[in-house]
Amino acid sequence: MTIHTETDGIVLAEYTAVLERGGTRYAARALGRVEEDARWVGWLEFVPSDGPPLATDRETTQPDRDAIAHWARHLSDVYLEGALERAARAAEPAPTRPAATPRELPPVEVRAVLDPFAVYAQGEEILRSELGALSPDHLLSIVRAYGLGDAPPRLPTEQATKERLVEQIMAGVRSSL
What is the pLDDT confidence band of residue 101, given thresholds at 50, 70 and 90? Answer: low
Residue 133 has pLDDT above 50, yes or no: yes
Residue 1, pLDDT above cutoff 70:
no
Backbone angles phi, psi at 174, to 5 degrees: -60, -40
Tally of domains within the chain: 2
Is 121 in the same domain as 87? no
Burial class (CB in 10 A: 0-12, 13-18, 19+), 153: exposed
Contact by Cβ (8 Å): 24, 46: no
Looking at the structure, do residues 83 and 14 belong to the same domain, yes or no? yes
CA 147 – CA 91 distance, rounded (Å)? 43
Tell me if 136 sits within 8 A of 163, measured CB to CB. Answer: no
Same domain, 79 and 46: yes
Kindly give the pairing relationship between strand 10-21 and strand 40-48. Answer: unpaired
Pairing of strands 4-5, 24-34: unpaired
Is the pTM value of this prediction over 0.85? no
* pLDDT number for residue 146: 86
Q: What is the pLDDT of residues 8-61, one digit of tens each?
A: 568 788 887 788 888 899 999 999 988 888 899 999 999 998 888 999 999 999
Q: Are 113 and 138 in contact (CB under 8 A)?
A: yes
**Domain end residue (candidates: 91, 124, 145):** 91
pLDDT-derived band at 159 (thresholds 50, 70, 90) equals low
CA 132 to chain centre: 22
Judgement on whether residues 81 and 124 belong to the same structural domain of the protein: no
Predicted confidence (pLDDT) at residue 144 exceeds the cutoff of 70: yes
Q: What is the mean pLDDT of residues 64-77?
A: 90
Residue 75 CA to residue 16 CA, distance in Å, equals 12
pLDDT band per the 50, 70, 90 thresholds, residue 95:
low
What value does the mean pLDDT of the chain take? 82
Question: What length does the chain have?
Answer: 177
* 14 & 68 share domain: yes
pLDDT of residue 4: 45
Domain endpoint, select from 91, 106, 136: 91
Is the domain of 32 the same as that of 68? Answer: yes
Q: Give the range of the structural domain holding residue 172, as residue numbers without chain letter.
A: 116-176
Q: Where do the H-state alpha helices sit in 74-157? A: 77-91, 116-120, 124-132, 136-145
107 lies in a domain? no
Residues whose CB falls within 8 Å of the CB of residue 101, separated by 6 or more in sequence, listed in order: none
pLDDT at residue number 143: 86
